[in-house]
Amino acid sequence: MIRTEDWLTGGVRGVNGIPRPFGDLDYMPSQLAYLGLVLVLLLTAYLLVERQVKAPWGRMMRAIRDNELAAAAMGKRIEARRLQAFVFGSALMGLAGALFVHFNRSVTPEAIDPMIATFLIWIMLILGGSGNNRGAILGAAVIWIIWSVSELLTDRLPTEIAVQAKYARVFIIGLTLQLVLRFRPEGILPERQAGSPPHR
């Protein structure tokens, strides 16, 4: 529906010509400068989220996650807290989306591949370890490295083979997921429970 609103979204052409920070630099310095910006924002978001998780608000949210009925019996407003978590997560996703759009300098209806926006992100969280921020970052790094390196390798193959080889990327990611679920279902960096020793 929104594709037909040319005045708002540019229709099927999307929105183009979006400026990128450090876009006036040469290619490689521009890429490195933008990577530095992303890393700074990632570190800032990580530290702020970690502080919030360790605060009373974070402990309350974990209590609701672990036992909603018990949290409700203690007088916690479950619906309001769910809305807070939704808004909190949406703000972080909005920041990531803004960085992604400025990196590509455009946004079109085809810009977000469901394979990347759904499947890969889900696997990133499972692989790294759900329930903790370090695991989410590690899982994202590992899966994206596998995805990007495999793309570079398949692009070097002859065209008729490269098209088929791209499906092998999905197989590798799926195999990685199966191995993690089989041998380490809690993820590479599982969530630490209160009072438990560091995981080795």
Report yes or no: 33 and 25 within 8 Å, Cβ to Cβ.
yes
Q: Is the pLDDT of residue 6 over 80?
A: no
Report yes or no: 134 and 192 within 8 Å, Cβ to Cβ.
no
> Where do the structural domains in the chain lie, given as residue ranges?
113-200
CA gap 60, 44 in Å, rounded: 23
Neighbours of 79 (CB within 10 A): 8
pLDDT at site 194? 57
Reported as a single tens digit per residue, the pLDDT across 34-60 is 999 999 999 999 999 999 888 998 889
CA gap 184, 126 in Å, rounded: 10
Model confidence at 32, pLDDT cuts 50, 70, 90, reads very high
Rg of the chain's alpha carbons, rounded to an integer?
20
Q: Collapse the DSSP code of 16 into the 3-class scheme (helix H, G, I; strand E, B; otherwise coil) and give the result.
A: strand
Reported as a single tens digit per residue, the pLDDT across 138-165 is 988 988 888 888 877 777 777 777 777 7
- pTM higher than the cut 0.85: no
pLDDT at site 129? 84
pLDDT at site 198? 53
